[in-house]
Amino acid sequence: MAIMHTCCCCNVRVGSIVVAVYTVIVSAAALIQSAKSWAGEDSIGTTPSVTLTATWGASIGVNSLLLIAAACLILGIFKDAKALLVPYMVVQSLYMLIYVVLEIAIIVVLVNGNYIYFNFLNLDAGSFSDLDFAIVKDVLIGLAVGVPIVLGIDLLCLLCVISQYQELRDGCGRRGHSAPVVVIQQPGYSTGFAPATYDPRPAPQQQYYSKC
C-alpha cells in the first residue's frame, strides 16, 4: 500500500511529474550558479578557500546527479517503469542527508561563534572585521532557518515519488489506469408486497471496493 495517494490536491503520479520538473529547475539553477561562481573566482585570480571549494564541488556533484535522477524520474513516470524512479529516491535521500549535516554544522558554528570555519565569502582570516562577523552570522542564521524549510519540501517530494513507486509496484498509478474492483456479495432484504413468483431468499446486494 502506498504511503500517500494524493499530493497537493492531485494524485501521486501527477505530483511526481511536478516533483521532476521542480527538481530539474532547481538543480539546473544551482548547478549553473555554482559553476559560474567557481569560474568567476578563478578568473579574478584569487585562491578560493578550502570551505568554498568543497562547497562548490559538492554542489556541482550533487546537483548533476539530481539532474540525471530527475530525467530518469520523468522517463519512469511516462513509461510506467518503477525501476527508473529508484535513482531519484536514492539521490534525493543523499541530498537530504547532506542538508541535515549542513544544518548540524551551522548550529554548532552559531553556538561556538567560530564563523571563520564557514568562510564562504573567502575573507582573510586575519582581517575578519566586526562587520564581516556580523554579515556571516546573519547569513548563517538565515541558513539555519531556511534549511529545515527546504528539507520539509524535499521530504514531501521524496514521499510523493516513493508513493508513486509503490503504486506502480501494486499495479496502480499508470497512465489511463482504472483501479481494479473487487465485488463482494452481501445479503439484502426486500420489503413491500411480494409478487406471485416471490422468492423468500434474501436478494444479493453488491458492494464495490477498489484495490488501489
65 in the same domain as 20 = yes
User: Looking at the structure, do residues 72 and 120 belong to the same domain, yes or no?
Assistant: yes
Tell me: do 165 and 186 sit in the same domain: no
Q: Tell me if 1 is assigned to some domain.
A: no
The answer to whether residue 48 scores a pLDDT higher than 90 is: no
Within-domain flag for 176 = no
Q: What is the 3-state secondary structure (H, E, C) of 169-196?
A: HCCCCCCCCCCCEEEEEEECCCCCCCCC
Q: Of 83, 34, 36, which is closest to residue 59 (Cα–Cα)?
A: 34
pTM summary value: 0.71
Mean per-residue pLDDT, 64-90: 93
Q: Are residues 43 and 124 in the same domain?
A: yes
- Spatial distance between the Cα atoms of 184 and 205, rounded to a whole number of angstroms: 8
Higher pLDDT, 182 or 212: 212
User: Which residues constitute the domain of residue 23?
Assistant: 6-169
What's the pLDDT score for residue 21? 94
Q: How many domains does the chain have?
A: 2
pLDDT, tens digit, 9 for 90 and up, residues 97-148: 988 988 888 888 888 776 665 655 555 555 556 666 777 778 888 888 999 9
